Amino acid sequence: MPKYRLQNEMIRWVTKEKKSGVYRSCDIPEQILRIYYKKLGGLKDIEFILDCSDSYPFRYPKIVYKINEGLSKNILELIRIKTCGGREELLEISEYKCLCCMTILCEANWAPSYNIDHIMEELEHFVELRMRIRNRLYLNLLLKNYEGFPEDVYGYIKSYL
Ligand SMILES: [Zn+2]
């Protein structure tokens, strides 16, 4: 039965309105799905490879990603926020305390009612959040290094990031 689930999702996807710059291909017998984004957040040429062969949808797919045909990296690399000060910024701009604890790609949070679209929506959102966090951290750094940087200008810029 699990095999049909991915197949049905792909059939639904074919008839759905497409986001531009996003391409999917699926190897149904192997249960491997590839989703390519021409641009996502600040990233270019990013491909997600979702391995659904391990009892999907009862278990979440194993996911790796590649940027510009580079090395495959575990999706957690993209989800974890390791930068100093990153967590504080995350709290300021989202309802998340920690992306890696709150992602649906985790035993504790996954439910078989989630599908590939839910996963990708979450990943897209996380990548956007990461980009915003990076920009906000750059701004903090700027403030630290430029004495007399006007506080109100800082607050003004930050409200846009
Ligand atoms: Zn965490």
Task: Give the mean model confidence (pLDDT) for residues 7-23.
Answer: 88
User: With 90 as the cut, is the pLDDT of residue 2 above it?
Assistant: no
pLDDT for the residue numbered 3: 72
pLDDT for the residue numbered 50: 98
> What count of other Cβ atoms lies within 10 Å of the Cβ of residue 19?
10
H-helix or E-strand spanning residue 53:
none
**Per-residue confidence band for 65, with pLDDT thresholds at 50, 70 and 90:** very high
Across-strand partners of 40? 43
Omega before 29 within 30 of 0, i.e. cis: no
User: With 90 as the cut, is the pLDDT of residue 146 above it?
Assistant: no
**Amino acid identity of 48?**
F
Cα–ligand 1 centroid distance for 59 (angstroms): 19
Omega before 150 within 30 of 0, i.e. cis: no
CB 70 within 8 A of CB 136: no
What are the residue ranges spanned by the domains of the chain? Answer: 2-158
Task: Give the mean model confidence (pLDDT) for residues 104-109.
Answer: 94
What average pLDDT does the structure give for the chain?
Answer: 91
pLDDT for the residue numbered 1: 52
H-helix or E-strand spanning residue 67:
strand 62-67
CB 114 within 8 A of CB 52: no
User: With 90 as the cut, is the pLDDT of residue 91 above it?
Assistant: yes
Cα–ligand 1 centroid distance for 78 (angstroms): 12
Both tokens of 43, joined, read 């990233």
The topology (CATH level 3) of 2-158 is: Ubiquitin Conjugating Enzyme (3.10.110)
Q: Which pTM was predicted?
A: 0.89
Task: Give the mean model confidence (pLDDT) for residues 138-153.
Answer: 86
Cα–ligand 1 centroid distance for 12 (angstroms): 33
Residue with tokens 């980009």: 131
User: With 90 as the cut, is the pLDDT of residue 154 above it?
Assistant: no
Nearest by Cα to 132 from 75, 94, 82: 94
Cα–ligand 1 centroid distance for 48 (angstroms): 21
